[in-house]
Amino acid sequence: MDIIAANHLTKSYRQYRRFPGLIGSVRSLFTRQFTEETAVNDISFTIGEGEAVGYLGPNGAGKSTMIKMMTGILVPTAGDIRVLGAVPHEARKTNARQIGVVFGQRSQLWWDLPVTDSFDLHKTIYQIPETKFKQNLQMCMELLSIHEFVEKPVRQLSLGQRMRVEIAMALLHEPRILFLDEPTIGLDVMAKDQIRHFLRMVNRERKVTILLTTHDMKDIEEICPRMIVVNKGTLVYDGSVEELRARLGNERRVVIDFREDPGPLDMPGITLLQEEGLRKTYLVSRSESTVFELVSRIAARYPVEDASIESADIESVIRRLYRQLADEESIGRQIG
Amino acid sequence: MTPYIMFMTKSFTSQLAYRSDVWLRLLGNYFAILIQVEIWRSVIGKGESFGVTIDQMITYSIINTLLVALLLHGVSGKVDGSLKSGSIAVELIKPLSYPLYLLSDALGQTLYKFVFTVIPSLLIAWLLFGMLPPASTVSLIGFVAALLIAMLISFLLGYLVSLLAFWFMSHFALSWTLGGLITIFSGSFLPIWFYAPGWEFAARMLPFQYLGYVPAAIYLGNMSQVMLWQTLLIGLAWIIALLTIVQWLWSRAVRRLIVQGG
């Protein structure tokens, strides 16, 4: 059963043209020129219950707009979306009880109140029964180590502490889906790690469906087996992380330590990338032959001390994907 | 405790932080009443005007000054703030009715003003200027009912303006206009019975009279019993009409919603 289904979903905004300067601002009063900005363009996908999906794309790709449509804040311009079997903006209140939302850049806590008060207010708003509330709070406080600052007013918390509280709060009413919009933005490595482990547990053990947007590929690698990549409003990839790596990461690096300088290698399918004395890094395109074969051929002909094969990390895979998209676009422009 | 009662108590208690405000408000109300009393004393003198005595006019002024203080709520300002900062997103992901959430916040403020501004001001005004009691028991019951109607109409008008602000992205001009219309047509400064027939007709056709003239006139017993119940019924009809408009506007407004700042 699909818990989220988007079908040819589109959201566009009208942006009224403004003219610069004082005279321009007077002119803006009398003109109604506008451009139609399409933040989400004809996107379709489905997400099953219990999945963990990373939704990524460069800045301005329409990720936040998508989350806001799924949570019922924004109304789509065209197409339809169903979350928990209902149209989100129509069933906003009923759906709200079954979803948790965390905005990395916008706090849901009460700024002047201690953390505990925010939890209590949340309990009242969501009408959470006492025992269930205590249980969930206990679990979240322990796993996210919130105990140390639970009595402090929210405004005194560090960003990492605040983020942990936001995530805990989004889970107190036991939502079936958790939406996270850039939950690790601006956090240090330790805080990121803790949040990732926690979200992984929430998804794997408590079976909460997770959809998160991020710019940090480690978030995807640790939490989400599946990812959806969007660019300028359109969907460009939907599938597993491995598959994308196989599709784009068909190059590997080989680092070889030589006993003495072999000079330029006479070997097809490799290019020298970097040279630090006797340590040389080569780029190997996998289509030629298996990397392992190639390395053993080199070792047979040259004085090799040690060799290591590095696979492309997800970050460089994504970078390649974005670059490829930008290239395709500029070619499109030249033709059109 | 339901969430709405909680929001009401929260809005009530958060006002307690501004305690020096209480004294300034009392002083402000004192001056507002003093000025009106002096004006009516010089206009009416000791006699009668339009069948109204000076004592009635003073009571009318006191009731209206305190009504203005009581009905002042920051609904459109609050919505405007959430729209501009984008925090409306956070308000909309909660399982709450947005208008009821705003209403409970406004009621908390009203309650605070009732306890800390209206009641002390009333005592001061009663001691310094003298105030007539309600004309009859029926007047008193009618007055309380009119007060509740006034609070709802005032809230709905503010909410209406804040929904219109979805189209204009700023509520200031609209709130200003609404303020002007209320000042003229509520009769809070100049009772409607002084108006020229054309203006009086306009004022009676509009909902603004419920924010000033109607409660005061009922308190003073200026309306026949039949007329009183009729007026209250029309007030209820206004509430239903405004509710319908507001519901419809909301369904249009959410389509225009843009969340600022990502």
CATH of the domain at A289: 3.30.70
* Residues A261, A234 within the same domain: no
Average pLDDT over residues B97-120: 92
**A199 and A288 within one domain:** no
Whether the predicted pLDDT of A265 surpasses 90: no
pLDDT tens track for B152-181: 999 999 999 999 888 877 788 889 999 999
Q: What predicted TM-score, i.e. pTM, was given to this entire model?
A: 0.83
Number of Cβ atoms within 10 Å of the Cβ of B167: 11
My answer on whether A134 and A265 are in the same domain is no
Amino acid identity of residue A198, one-letter, is F
A122 with A268, same domain?
no
Angstrom CA distances, B7 to A128, A151, A170, B105, B147, stand at: 17, 21, 19, 6, 22
Structure confidence at residue A297 (pLDDT): 84
Check whether residue A177 and residue A301 sit in a common domain: no
Res. A288: pLDDT tops 60: no
Q: What is the mean pLDDT of residues B3-24?
A: 87
Q: Are residues A83 and A115 in the same domain?
A: yes
pLDDT of A296 strictly over 70? yes
- Using one digit for the tens of pLDDT, what is the confidence trace for B198-240? 999 999 999 999 999 999 999 999 888 899 999 999 999 999 9
Question: Residue A82 domain-assigned?
Answer: yes
Sign of CA dihedral B106, B110, B112, B117: positive
Provide φ and ψ at A40, rounded to 5°. -130, 125
Residue A331, in any domain of the structure: no
Number of alpha carbons in the 13 Å side-chain half-sphere of residue A143: 18
Whether A336 shows a pLDDT value over 60: the answer reads: no
Same domain, residue pair A113 and A233: yes
Most confident range, picked from A113-122, A249-258, A292-301: A113-122
* Confidence tier at A294 by pLDDT (50, 70, 90): confident
- What was the pLDDT predicted at A329? 74
Q: Say which residue, B121 or A58, is predicted with more confidence.
A: B121
Structural domain contains residue A332? no
- State mean pLDDT over B240-250: 95
Average pLDDT over residues A22-35: 76
Output Rg (C-alpha) for chain B, integer angstroms.
Answer: 19
The answer to whether A64 contacts chain B (CB < 8 Å) is yes
Which positions in chain B touch A107 (Cβ < 8 Å)?
A: 90
Q: Give the pLDDT score at A333.
A: 67
In this predicted structure, what is the pLDDT of residue A77? 92
Domain extents in chain B: 2-259
Nearest to A106 among B87, B94, B255 (CB): B87
Do the Cβ atoms of B123 and B62 come closer than 8 Å? no
- Cβ–Cβ contacts within 10 Å for residue A146, how many? 20
Q: Mean pLDDT in chain B?
A: 90
Is position A223 within any domain? yes
> For the segment B51-102, what is each residue's pLDDT rounded down to a tens digit?
788 889 999 999 999 999 899 888 988 998 888 888 899 999 999 999 999 9
pLDDT at residue B231, rounded to an integer: 95
Q: Which residues have C-beta within 8 Å of that of residue B116, sequence separation ≥ 6?
A: B15, B22, B25
Tell me whether residues B96 and A93 touch, CB distance under 8 A: yes
Examine the pLDDT at A164 and tell me if it is beyond 70: yes
Alpha helices in B169-212 (DSSP H): 172-185, 197-205
Q: Is the pLDDT of residue B147 over 60?
A: yes
* Distance (Å, whole) CA A256 – CA A271: 13
Closest partner CB to B93 (pick from A73, A75, A127) = A73
Name residue A324's amino acid: Q
> Domain check: are A281 and A176 in the same one?
no
Residues A153 and A13 in one domain: yes
Beta bridge pairs of residue A5: A46, A82
Please judge whether B262 and A97 are an interchain contact, meaning their C-beta atoms are less than 8 angstroms apart: no
The chain B residues in contact with chain A (CB within 8 A) are 1-3, 6, 10, 86-90, 92-97, 254-255, 257-259, 261-262
State the CATH number of the domain containing residue A95. Answer: 3.40.50.300
* Cβ within 8 Å, pair A125-B254: no
Can you tell me the distance from the alpha carbon of A109 to that of A194, in angstroms, rounded to the nearest whole number? 20
A154 backbone dihedrals φ, ψ, rounded to 5°: -55, -35
| Listed residues A193, A211, A242: the one ending a domain | A242
- pLDDT for A251 equals 66
Other residues' Cβ atoms within 10 Å of the Cβ of residue A40 = 27
Phi, psi of B183 (to 5 degrees): -60, -45
- Taking residues A147-162, what's their average pLDDT? 93
Q: What is the arithmetic mean of pLDDT over A15-41?
A: 79
A209-213 and A52-56: which strand pairing?
parallel
Total domains present in chain A: 2
- How deeply is B46 buried, as exposed, middle or buried, from its count of CB atoms within 10 A (0-12, 13-18, 19+)? exposed
Helices of type H across chain A? 21-30, 63-70, 92-96, 115-126, 130-143, 159-171, 189-204, 217-223, 241-248, 291-301, 314-335
Mean pLDDT of A226-255: 83
pLDDT at residue A287, rounded to an integer:
60
Mean pLDDT of chain A: 87
Q: Report residue A90: phi and psi, to 5°.
A: -85, -40
Structure ipTM: 0.81
Domain of residue A290: give its range.
250-310
